Amino acid sequence: MSITEAEARKVAHLARIAVKEEDLSALAGELSAVLAFMEELNEVDVEGIEPMTSVTPMRLKRREDVVTDGGIQKQILSNAPDAREGFFAVPKVVE
């Protein structure tokens, strides 16, 4: 299966990675090569096989639904590129 430039543009946008127009053709080629490699999986008979969700059969642990942590606003914000007045700051989202 071959990826077109338009599909490469779409997947780059879905992944939120800016790709220059002139690089789209090379990207489409690379993605196509990797997908072609994956086509080998079509040889396998997977009739009736459940897709694996967890490699070890284990039941996830549960705990009481209570607050166990918090009150660390300063630490949470300490690595932010832009933090103001106790919040993460980003460009305007809603007009």
List the structure tokens of 34.
Answer: 């990797």
Q: Could you tell me which residues are beta bridge partners of residue 87?
A: 84
Q: Is 87 helix (H, G, I), strand (E, B) or coil?
A: strand
Secondary element (H or E) of residue 83: strand 83-84
Q: Does 70 bind other proteins (CB under 8 A)?
A: no
- Choice between 25 and 88, CB closer to other proteins: 88
List the structure tokens of 4.
Answer: 């077109």
Q: Does 56 bind other proteins (CB under 8 A)?
A: yes
Interface residue list for other proteins (CB under 8 A)? 3, 8, 11-19, 27, 30-31, 33-35, 37-44, 46, 49-56, 58, 60-61, 63, 72, 75-76, 78-82, 88, 90-93
